[in-house]
């Protein structure tokens, strides 16, 4: 019975790999390159133990612990530094990779009718999901091996074979865990959008629980899979136990997904959508209203997530204030700007992370239009009294409002939590001004997406590479000491770092003007090009 349900799994595995071989290869090459680049850069930047100890002092504060996790700061070798500053972030990216790849060949294929067609062939009921699991397992296993062996082969003294293999195994285990999470949600949700949203929500919540736990209650971190990542203590204690937990829970999740897949009907889910209204509301009488209705659940979820993210960062500012008061070395290293406290000097770094994450929802909103086009749904709208400009304009307006709301909620969360835990509190005007300064840069990212939809629709997803580039060069720019021009290639690199720097009008005006120009060009292209069929 089981063998019959899994029949032709091997052929389907080869089929899925053939479809995704380029996509998987790009993920693996990018992750491997980034993994090997960091420790070699650390050797050049922090050649002596004295320099590494100084870096350890800068990392020994609650804000950095919340962002990257705890580390062995007493023995801050290149290996310990690499694991401390990069393992958690890389693991989160690996988790996102697994979520995207598994969603693509579960709910997305089911929505598009591919699984129904495959089941009409002599294949088992569970064969396609099982093939997807095999590809995910293989992808993460290869990632674990090439990362672990690669880190050992570069020959850094403090990065031994056991620690390197543990580093790779932690990444692979994290990827497998989120593959299991996504496979389960693919059975629960009725849509690929719901599957992706729920899985990403688990990833974000895992990060937030770990952040709070690492700062205030270490036991709480054990409730988060990303907390298990930091518990491995790679290149120091080398604990393999958390990896075994990751793999064990992953197997349980994958078995649950197979069971749920076996007992549900095709195109159904265990979290069914509620029945719609008999008559449409007035909201649906415009492209803007329809665009919002299609993405309402995701927008609300992201809004809650952005506020919680701001609160989680703001909640550590009180501990950060206490840390600075008791650490003379940090007071010497961080000379405050006029009228700006040492704690407030960390605001630009926190605001950058909040802004980059707040940029994701508006770009997703714009990409939704491209997805609707690929699935030939916008033809129904354009065949009615709806112009292309109205259709695109609805998504653009929603995207701009979405970005503004997400940025505002992140800033409000940061201010409200910071004001509650700090003795002198935080000025709302200072925090909100620092956040709104990034809004023109966010508009540029939205406008680039509009331009791609208008002229290069098949390359629309390149915007995600640009967002990732912005994160790397700005968030890690100081760490790697990138030249200034590298950061200036991102619109976020031109934003004044308030409250440390004075807010100037001209860069923000130029960014806004660039956004308007790119949007107009994108509108022109969308009005003239053929709609994809």
Task: Give me the pLDDT at residue 333, please.
Answer: 47
Q: Please report which confidence band the pLDDT of residue 456 belongs to, taking 50, 70 and 90 as the band edges.
A: very high
- Percent above pLDDT 90 for the chain: 49
* Neighbour tally for 125: CB within 10 Å: 16
Comparing CA positions, the residue from 321, 316, 327, 88 lying closest to residue 216 is 316
Q: Is the pLDDT of residue 423 over 90?
A: no
Q: Is the pLDDT of residue 524 over 80?
A: yes
Task: Give me the pLDDT at residue 359, please.
Answer: 95
The position carrying tokens 């700090």 is 422
* Neighbour tally for 532: CB within 10 Å: 13
> Which one-letter DSSP state was computed for residue 221?
G
* CA 193 – CA 313 distance, rounded (Å): 28
Question: Looking at the whole model, is its pTM more than 0.95?
Answer: no
Q: Is the pLDDT of residue 361 over 80?
A: yes
Task: Give me the pLDDT at residue 275, please.
Answer: 72
Half-sphere exposure of 240 (CA within 13 A, CB side): 6
Q: Is the pLDDT of residue 49 over 50?
A: yes
The position carrying tokens 């990069």 is 86
Structure tokens at 476: 């890690």
Task: Give me the pLDDT at residue 335, please.
Answer: 45
Query: Residue 397 CA to chain centroid, in angstroms?
Result: 24
Task: Give me the pLDDT at residue 331, please.
Answer: 52
CA-to-CA dists, residue 97 to 74, 182, 299, angstroms: 33, 11, 22
Query: For the residues 166-192, what does the mean pLDDT come to?
Result: 95
Q: Is 401 within 8 Å of 295 (Cβ atoms)?
A: no
Task: Give me the pLDDT at residue 336, please.
Answer: 54
Higher-pLDDT residue of 141 and 350 is: 141
* Ranges 144-153, 232-241, 403-412, 474-483: which has the least confidence: 474-483
The overall average pLDDT reported for the chain is 87
Structural domain boundaries in the chain: 1-39+86-273
CA-to-CA dists, residue 327 to 180, 197, 312, 330, 491, angstroms: 44, 42, 23, 6, 35
Task: Give me the pLDDT at residue 231, please.
Answer: 94
Structure tokens at 46: 């922090």
* pLDDT tens-digit map of 312-334: 888 777 666 566 555 555 555 45
Task: Give me the pLDDT at residue 478, please.
Answer: 64
């Amino acid at each position: 019975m089981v063998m019959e349900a899994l029949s032709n799994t091997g052929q389907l595995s080869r089929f899925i790999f053939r479809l995704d071989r380029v996509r998987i290869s790009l993920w693996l090459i990018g992750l491997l390159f980034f993994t090997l680049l960091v420790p070699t850069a650390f050797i050049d930047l922090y050649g002596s133990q004295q320099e590494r100890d100084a870096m350890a002092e800068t990392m020994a504060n609650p804000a950095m612990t919340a962002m990257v996790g705890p580390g062995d700061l007493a023995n801050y070798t290149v290996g310990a530094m690499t694991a401390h500053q990069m393992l958690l972030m890389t693991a989160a990216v690996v988790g996102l990779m697994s979520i995207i790849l598994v969603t693509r060949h579960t709910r997305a294929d089911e929505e598009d009718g591919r699984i129904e067609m495959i089941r009409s062939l002599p294949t088992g009921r569970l064969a396609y999901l099982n093939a997807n699991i095999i590809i995910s397992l293989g992808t993460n296993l290869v990632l674990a091996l090439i990362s672990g062996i690669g880190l050992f082969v570069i020959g850094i003294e403090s990065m031994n074979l056991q620690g390197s293999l543990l580093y790779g195994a932690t990444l692979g285990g994290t990827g497998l865990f989120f593959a299991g999470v996504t496979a389960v949600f693919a059975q629960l949700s009725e849509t690929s959008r719901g599957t992706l949203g729920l899985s990403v929500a688990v990833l974000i919540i895992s990060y937030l629980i770990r952040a709070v736990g690492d700062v205030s209650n270490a036991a709480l971190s054990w409730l988060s899979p990303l907390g298990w990542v930091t518990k491995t203590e790679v290149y120091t204690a080398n604990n393999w136990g958390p990896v075994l937990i990751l793999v064990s829970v992953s197997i349980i999740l994958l078995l649950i997904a197979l069971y749920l897949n076996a007992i549900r009907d095709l195109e159904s889910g265990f979290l069914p959508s509620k029945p719609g209204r008999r008559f449409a509301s007035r909201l649906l009488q415009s492209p803007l209203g329809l665009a919002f209705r299609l993405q309402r659940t995701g927008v609300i979820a992201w809004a809650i997530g952005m506020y919680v993210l701001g609160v989680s960062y703001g909640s550590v500012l009180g501990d950060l204030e206490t840390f600075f008061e008791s650490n003379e070395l940090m007071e010497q290293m961080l000379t405050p700007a006029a009228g700006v406290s040492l704690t407030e000097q960390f605001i630009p770094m926190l605001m950058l992370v909040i802004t980059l994450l707040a940029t994701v929802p508006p770009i997703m909103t714009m990409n939704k239009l491209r997805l609707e086009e690929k699935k030939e749904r916008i033809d129904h709208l354009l065949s009615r009294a709806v112009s292309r400009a109205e259709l695109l304009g609805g998504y653009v307006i929603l995207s701009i409002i979405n970005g503004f709301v997400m940025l505002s909620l992140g800033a409000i969360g940061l201010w409200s939590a910071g004001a509650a835990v700090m003795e002198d509190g935080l000025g709302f005007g200072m925090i909100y001004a620092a956040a709104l300064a990034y809004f023109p840069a966010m508009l540029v990212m939205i406008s680039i997406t509009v331009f791609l939809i208008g002229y290069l629709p098949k390359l629309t997803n390149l915007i995600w590479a640009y967002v990732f580039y912005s994160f790397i060069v700005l968030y890690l720019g100081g760490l790697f000491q990138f030249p200034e021009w590298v950061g200036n290639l991102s619109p976020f690199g031109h934003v004044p770092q308030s409250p440390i720097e004075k807010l100037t009008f001209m860069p923000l005006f130029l960014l806004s003007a660039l956004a308007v120009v790119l949007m107009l060009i994108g509108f022109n292209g969308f009005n003239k090009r053929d709609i994809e069929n």
